[in-house]
Amino acid sequence: EADIYQTPRYLVIGTGKKITLECSQTMGHDKMYWYQQDPGMELHLIHYSYGVNSTEKGDLSSESTVSRIRTEHFPLTLESARPSHTSQYLCASSEDSRNYGYTFGSGTRLTVV
Amino acid sequence: AQSVTQLGSHVSVSEGALVLLRCNYSSSVPPYLFWYVQYPNQGLQLLLKYTSAATLVKGINGFEAEFKKSETSFHLTKPSAHMSDAAEYFCAVSGPGGYNKLIFGAGTRLAVHP
């Protein structure tokens, strides 16, 4: 059973729209991450957070932004969606990644038309 | 710097055959290593992890992996493939800087045919 939830699972939206992808976890983990994954491709870290009011950009440049106002919630926002943003977005959390790794959500598959 | 290389982006086996997915790592500190599985349109699920205890690690669904420091490898194996094993598999190593990030390989897609 998932303790980290992503909504929506699938989203098709028009160019120029503002969207927010939701990610929530019930495990009390301090560390949360957003990855972008194109079909059949590797994972790219785009944002991470080590706790409330802490956010950092990842290895892959992204036009998205994130916030961390509550421990359990780590939403990702695109102010103006473009077709190049079409991808799968995976959220993960961890208390101690070295010893336990990450727990992943089921992902949001975004299509911008 | 930590890195992971997965040899073979696609592996195809017959049902009942041995599964071998290769992972080599580079790490400046003793590595903590992980294997994840991803089914279509799903997130990643932890299969097993090596955290400096036993070098042979058993995971879920009959998978296991052996840590070999001399070869800097952490290959994933399963004696007998099932159709349900068809998925994408990712190897990961714990990164530097307070152990807070995992560094993932590019993934290996496993196909199982009858």
For chain A of 113 residues, list the mean pLDDT of each consecutive stretch of 10.
88 97 96 89 90 91 93 96 95 88 94 97
pLDDT score of A100: 85
Question: Above pLDDT 70, what percent of chain B?
Answer: 95
Distance of CA A19 to CAs A46, A56, A74, Å? 16, 20, 14
On whether any CB of chain B is under 8 Å from the CB of A97, the answer is yes
> CB–CB of A99 and B51 under 8 A?
yes
The Cα–Cα gap between A91 and B72 comes to: 29
pLDDT score of A62: 85
Residue B33 pLDDT level (bands cut at 50, 70, 90): very high
Give, as one character, the DSSP assignment of residue A70: B
Structure tokens at A49: 């957070």
pLDDT at B1 over 90: no
pLDDT score of A1: 56
Across the interface, of B44, B46, B94, the residue whose CB is closest to A98 is: B94
Residue B83 identity: M
- The nearest alpha carbon in chain A to B110 belongs to A40
- The nearest alpha carbon in chain A to B35 belongs to A101
> CB–CB of B94 and A97 under 8 A?
yes
Distance from CA of B19 to the nearest CA of A (A): 20
On whether any CB of chain B is under 8 Å from the CB of A44, the answer is no
pLDDT at B99 over 90: no
Give, as one character, the DSSP assignment of residue A100: H
Nearest to B6 by CA among B97, B88, B96, B113: B88
pLDDT score of A2: 59
The Cα–Cα gap between B13 and B114 comes to: 9
pLDDT at B102 over 70: yes
Contact (CB, 8 A) for A111 and A12 = yes
Rg over CA atoms, chain A: 13
Higher pLDDT, A22 or B32: A22
pLDDT score of A96: 84
State pLDDT tens for residues B66-97.
Answer: 999 999 999 999 999 999 999 999 999 987 65
The Cα–Cα gap between A15 and A85 comes to: 10
Residue B47 pLDDT level (bands cut at 50, 70, 90): very high
Scan for tokens 């017959």, then name that residue: B14
Higher pLDDT, A8 or B1: A8
